[in-house]
Structure 1
Amino acid sequence: MSYRLLILNPGSTSTKAAVYDGDRQVAMKSIVHTNQDLAPYPTLYDQLDYRVALVRGWLGQEGIGLSTLSAVVGRGGIIPNIVAGGYVVDDNLVDCLRNYPVFDHASNLGGLMARAFAQPLGIPAYIYDAVTSDELLPEARVTGFKEVTRTSFCHVLNARATAHKYAEALGRKYEDMNLVVAHLGGGISISAHSRGRIIDSVSDDAGPFSPDRSGSLNMLYVVDLCYSGKYTKKEMLKKLRGEGGMSALLGTHDCQEIERRIESGDEWAALVYKAQALQIAKGVGIMLGCFTELIDAVILTGGLANSKKLTGMVIDYLHNLVKVVVIPGENEMEALALGGLRILRGEETVHTFHPACALVP
């Protein structure tokens, strides 16, 4: 049976929309929203009708009739108490997205937009692999701080999509494999995938530094900085995300620029780049310790994985320990489409959101 899916991925400054016939993309548009465009809408959720109307207009320009759609898949929002995979967008999930998200984020509009299109057509609306999907093992939640319990926070959508892609290339099922996936982007997160479940992860503030994030540090140093009187809380948060990592060390997070500096003899740039590779390898090593059986492979993915120089150094550190494969790039639209397609084909069971549910034990 043939399925046509509308894919919706709202961001803070754009709404990406695409139409897929099965696994083939037939149309895609990134609709930009300027500050002036969004100014009339006091809250994020006031933007819903505006964004839906823009996508409707684009579909009309493309000559794609709404009646031809089989389902709509939206980017998963910042939602509490969910696991990886797809969720049907029903009244409970809509209420959570509107009124009880972990925090406001443009991705919270993904499910709401999907429902706005799907409900009048009588077709299903889904979200898939939300960032806050959490399937950690109980022992992975415990920290040395009595007041702090770990939760999973990683690039779930791309990590699972890439793992599925790798398994399919081998003629195997993702659910039958043990993998470590390192998403190398503006932020770096690393996740341990045990037979279809992310059992542990290193978030972008707890592992390797990255193009613009500082990664993990000795905590005593951070406490000293926080109480030094030199920085406000806002400034410290910027050091962690946005103004840390290679941006702080080299004044740029452009890897092509950094590699040009290295080729021209910049020893400091070469050292920072090697340190970046070492930290990625060490982050992978932490995740290797999550398994009680041998793993099938480590996958390096995300935008930074396009750098053969960087991935080559990471492989140099790891190749004697484990098989390492590189699958560069990040295609969120394809990942959402393929997730929705697996649900429609009956290859995955879709979840139903329960507001009072506990996290997976």
Structure 2
Amino acid sequence: MYKILAINLGSTSTKIAYYEDDDCKVRTNVEHPVEETSKFSHFMEQNEYREKIIAKFMEENRIDKTSLSAIVSRGGHTESLEGGVYRVNEEMLKQQASGMYGQHPCDLGSKIAFEMCKTTKAIPLIVDPPITDEFDLVARISGHPLIERRSSFHALSHKATAKRYARENGLKYDELSLVVVHLGGGISVSPHKNGRMIDGENALEGDGSFSTNRTGALPVGDLIRLCFSGKYTYNDVHKMLNGEGGLVAYLGTSDVKTVEENAKSDEKSALYLDAMIYQVCKQIGAMATVLSGKVDAILLTGGIAYSQSIVGKIEDRCGFIAPIVVYPGENEMESLARGTLEGLRGYEIIKEFEPKCR
């Protein structure tokens, strides 16, 4: 039996779960008050703060650190990698700490997993990090040589959902053609072909559909004029793209349940919710063409996929392309544990992180 501790650090929370093989024995989601996190100038300074929370969870649930097989964290930001299970090492931590490839509290999670494993037999791991990049060469071309399209979306969710579909249907992921859609705070759509995400979106910085708090792709000319209007700083515009865009910009809330309820009597709420769904469907159609229309299934996951109304509208527009299968919820902890278990069992290779440029 393999014993796995999964940690998932967010800006305002620490999620922790303990698994024995694929059975989750206990889990928690600790919310961090602003008055506590505001004491730190940067989330990478929160080592001790987060470690105490994890240690308390283990103590309360009588989890012996020395008995763990692996500690897995949601992966951080390094140079691009193929999807898979990776052992955390010094080189990986060095790139994450540099901030050159993006920044998120999950970068600290990798460091904590590494440090916790130093005095045990446990292996520190990450699974399908957000910088996973398996694009075909043609998908990288943007339209100008100074800018390259890059993969930056919900790789962990996408891969886990696709593999779950294959597993539950007695199929092989690396033999399928799928369109996977993550419907959460951010929205991303990717075509999966023969085990690779061959195209997709930069769901963080203005690509694809708008979501609850992100703009998705914007008319470029108008965006340029806004940037040089003198009214906004770089940080202002960046917040518009991620954090203050999408539904929250139009309606003042990023809560989809609230928007759905308001849409019953408010035409404005109904319009912007329909517009978001409309854009998602356009992206599904676009990614289906990447697969030449030969799509085995369209898979919907993420918190918004709990909404039968939204799923129904996607089915109305996209059901002609392929069968639609729904796996609601974020499922991040399960995805981390499942990927780790497959690596420990030898079903997947545990890869060593090796920088492309030293």
TM-score normalised by length of structure 1: 0.93
Identity %: 37
1:19-41: CA deviation from partner (whole Å, max 9, x where unpaired): 00111111112233334434555
Within the alignment, does 1:220 sit opposite 2:210 as a pair?
no
Change in Cα spacing, 1:278 to 1:41, as seen in structure 2 (3 Å) is closer
- Residue 9 of structure 1 is matched in structure 2 by 8
Q: Which moved more, 1:273-282 or 1:44-53?
A: 44-53
> Where does residue 144 of structure 2 map in the other structure?
145
The one-character-per-residue Cα deviations of 1:326-361 (angstroms, maximum 9, x if unpaired) are 211112111100010010111111211111269xxx
Pairing of 1:1-361 with structure 2 (within 5 A)? 2-38=1-37, 41-99=40-98, 101-204=100-203, 205-264=206-265, 266-292=266-292, 294-356=294-356
Q: Whole-Å Cα distance in 2 between the matches of residues 236 and 98 of structure 1? A: 25
C-alpha distance in 1 between matches for 2:321 and 2:13: 42
1:38-74 deviations in Å (ceiling 9; x for gaps): 4555543332233223312221111111122111111
- Structure 2 gaps of 5+ residues are none
Whole-Å separation in 2 of the counterparts to 1:226 and 1:100: 24
AA in 2 matched with 1:222: L
> For residues 200 and 119 of structure 2, what CA distance do their matches in structure 1 show?
39
1:222 positional shift: 1.2
Cα distance in 2 for partners of 1:214, 1:39 equals 27
**Residue type of the alignment partner of 1:329:** G
**Aligned residues of 2:201 and 2:207 also touching (Cα < 8 A):** yes
Paired letter, 1:300:
L
Deviation per residue, 1:261-294 (Å, 9 max, x gap):
2323x22322222222211110111111222471
Amino acid at match of 2:109: G
Distance 2:113 2:299 in 1: 31
Unaligned runs of 5+ in 1: none
Secondary structure of 1:211's counterpart equals coil
Letter in 1 for 2:342: R
Maintained 8 Å contact 1:188/1:203: no
C-alpha distance after superposition, 1:9-28 (max 9, x if no partner): 11222222110011111111
Instruction: Say if 1:35 and 1:245 are closer, same or farther in 2 by CA, change over 3 A.
Output: closer
> What letter corresponds to residue 190 of structure 1 in structure 2?
V
Kept in 2: contact 1:5–1:337 (CA 8 A): yes
Contact 1:154/1:191 (CA < 8 Å) preserved in 2?
no
| 1:252/1:54 CA distance change after superposition, 3 Å | closer
Deviations 1:185-225 (A, max 9, x none): 11111111111111110232211111111211221121122
CA shift, 1:124, in A, is: 1.3
